[in-house]
Amino acid sequence: LVIPGGESTTMDKLVRAFGLQAPLRERIAAGMPVYGSCAGMIMLADRIADARPDQQTLGGFDITVRRNAFGRQVDSFEEDLHIRELGGQPVRAVFLRAPWVEEAGDAVHVLARVEHGPAAGRIVAARQGDLLVTSFHPEVTGDHRVHQLFVDIVRQHTATHDQRERS
């Protein structure tokens, strides 16, 4: 499953209105690979800071995510990030009223942190098992490496799963 950017409060409302919260939580708990970017990252977070009072998430990722952490829409920005898992060239990260990861549990593997400015050091990409999150929007730059990483996670997951079913 890919949960894209958008508006997490609206996603949460619709997920609940269409009765999808419980089945999605079950699938995530059962190990389904999910990639969440921006609002999608908020949907996967176990805890939100600066949530709407009634806002819920699907959860599964042991992180606290701060909504609109970098400021308002006008504070949206771009930065080159060096992500070891994605090879040599830096990734151009586009942040659109983005969240950041404020706290991460022990099972969380940090992939990228902001490198410059007042938010330097904040976690903006992470992996936990077959769950992947980014604060930024890799779909707007034409660089497919983040999506490729998710495809690799899905392939690996499917291969392991199929093998288990055969034996």
Q: Kindly state whether residue 6 participates in binding ligand GLN, applying the rule CB under 6 A.
A: yes
Question: Given candidates 3, 5, 24, 28, which one binds ligand GLN under the rule CB under 6 A?
Answer: 5
In the complex, minimum distance from the CB of residue 72 to ligand GLN, in angstroms, rounded to a whole number: 9
**Least distance to ligand GLN from the beta carbon of 161, Å?**
30
Which range binds ligand GLN by CB under 6 A, 38-46, 115-123, 147-155, 157-165?
38-46
CA angle in degrees (0–180, nearest 5) for 115-146-74: 50
38 annotated active-site? yes
**Least Å distance between CB 162 and ligand GLN?**
33
Q: Is 39 in the site for ligand GLN (CB under 6 A)?
A: yes
Left (φ > 0), alpha (ψ -120 to 50) or beta: where does 101 sit?
beta
Q: How many residues bind ligand GLN (CB under 6 A)?
A: 12
Question: Closest separation between CB of residue 55 and ligand GLN, Å?
Answer: 9
Distance of CA 78 to the CA centre of its chain: 17
Options 102, 103, 139, 157, the catalytic residue: 139
Is 139 known to be catalytic?
yes
Q: Which residue number, 7 or 78, has a Cβ lying nearer to ligand GLN?
A: 7
Do the beta carbons of residue 76 and residue 95 sit within 8 Å? yes
Q: Which is nearer to ligand GLN, 51 or 155 (CB)?
A: 51
Contact predicate 69/53, CB 8 Å: no
The residues binding ligand GLN (CB under 6 A) are: 5-8, 38-39, 42, 67-68, 96-98
Active site residues: 38, 137, 139
